[in-house]
Amino acid sequence: MVKSSTPPRPGLSRRSFLGSSGVAAASAGLAAGAQAQTQDAPAVAPDAHPKVSFTLNGKTRTITVEPRTSLVEALRDTIGMTGTKIGCNHGQCGACTVLLNGRRINSCLTLAITVEGAEITTVEGLADPEGNLHPMQTAFAEKDAFQCGYCTPGQILSAIACIDEGHAGSAAEIREYMSGNLCRCGAYPNIVAAIEAVRDGQEG
């Protein structure tokens, strides 16, 4: 082992250094500076969350949300539109599908604050004021296109958009453009049959 050639300073140790007045003064100065910085920082109001206004199922809604709130959370938890479901919460199952300005979107991947001025349709907004079901809702019931029903709201909204987009020309095309909506019960053939029925005007 190599010994240091520098002799230790007499009377100096870590304990005596940490207990010295210089270290104590420096520590006090840092604490005072941190306190002053905290006092100078502007206070954040607890109600400083942004407001967003949009049309939901034909009615104007204005809500206050945290910036990180997803649209599906705002619909379900803030507004109470629980027809829109949360499935994977990663945009992979389609259970949260809604129509945004007529286009289908995954509402779990959409921030609520980004829909300012938009028109949103959920499954609750498909029936007419007299309570008559949308033709796609009727077709899903007639063709037995659901079992547990959890994915059904998203499936129906996506099916409506599939026809409106012009992607329902054949069974193969329907399956392709509905592939973003998963049915854990495996009712896919009946879902295709329901879409074909609405496309061909057999329902409603």
pLDDT in tens, 148-180: 999 999 999 999 999 999 999 999 999 999 999
Strands 59-64 and 51-56: antiparallel
Say whether both 137 and 191 belong to one domain. yes
> Residue 191 belongs to a domain with what CATH number?
1.10.150.120
Q: Which of the listed ranges 14-18, 61-65, 199-203 does the model predict with the highest average pLDDT?
A: 61-65
Q: What is the pLDDT of residue 44?
A: 47
Asked whether residue 170 is domain-assigned, the answer is yes
pLDDT in tens, 29-45: 555 555 555 455 455 45
Asked whether residue 30 is domain-assigned, the answer is no
What residue numbers bound the domain in which 82 lies?
A: 49-125
Q: What is the pLDDT of residue 16?
A: 60
* The last residue of a domain, from among 82, 101, 125: 125
Residue bearing the bigger pLDDT, 6 or 151: 151
Asked whether residue 184 is domain-assigned, the answer is yes
Q: What is the mean pLDDT of residues 43-69?
A: 87
> Residue 96 belongs to a domain with what CATH number?
3.10.20.30
Angle (nearest 5°) at CA 42 between 40 and 47: 155
When divided into structural domains, the chain yields a total of 2
Say whether both 148 and 120 belong to one domain. no
Say whether both 67 and 110 belong to one domain. yes
Average pLDDT for the chain:
87
* The last residue of a domain, from among 98, 125, 152: 125
pTM of the model: 0.76
Q: Is 11 exposed, middle or buried (0-12, 13-18, 19+ CB in 10 A)?
A: exposed
Answer yes or no: is pLDDT of 187 > 60: yes
Asked whether residue 42 is domain-assigned, the answer is no
